[in-house]
Amino acid sequence: MKTSTIVAVLVVLILILGGWYWWSMHGGVPVPMPGTQGPAGQAGINGSPNQGNLGQPANGVPQQPGTAAQDNGIGDASTPGQQPMADGADGSVIGSNLALGTDASATLGKYLIAYNGMTVYTYAPDGNNVSNCTGQCATNWPPYIVGPEDNVKAQLQAGVTGKVDTIVRADGKAQVTYNGHPLYFYIQDKASGDVKGQGVGGIWFVVKP
């Protein structure tokens, strides 16, 4: 075979291999090398990677509302937050998780936690079955929102004996209530067991079962 033909074949092979490599690195489907695995899939209760049951957040770290500076009952959020995401956020269903359960600390005794193991709070200015926490308040203290298909009255841990129900907020979403008090998360709680919202501004309190 002529030298020029061999060179031409090598150039074509290099172009083909180079094009394949570029394609795989820029939007193509990467082909795993022998002995390796592709990206691990995420799984959680009911298919939600972020969802954990009471006191046992998936992967050990529940998704948090965000971060904020604390200086009063409402706070000044440096980063807009959101409710911890799972099958109970944004109007979808909690599924097999319990809506309310309990945790305890040496200083506070028993208090209520939500489906994701996070502490829930009440807001003193709220009325009976009425939420007065909106706007920036609701950013720093995300309401405990559930879906219309959730039966929160039947999804309770043993020992949660108060009246559990929901109210409809101004945006049309259903917020969980306990004995008529709307329930909220706190943006600065970072893990199950955190109770950083207790007593903030003299108007935010954990909830006794």
The pLDDT of residue 174? 95
- Which residue type occupies 130? V
**pLDDT for 31 beyond 50:** no
Span 91-111, pLDDT tens digits = 444 666 889 999 999 999 999
Q: List, in order, residues 6 or more apart from 195 with CB less than 8 Å away.
A: 105, 108, 111, 119, 189, 206
The overall pTM is greater than 0.95: no
Average confidence (pLDDT) over 55-82: 37
The Cα–Cα gap between 86 and 49 comes to 8
Q: Name the β-bridge partners of 127.
A: 130
**pLDDT for 87 beyond 60:** no
| Per-residue CA distances from 51 to 4, 11, 59, 148 (Å) | 63, 53, 9, 18
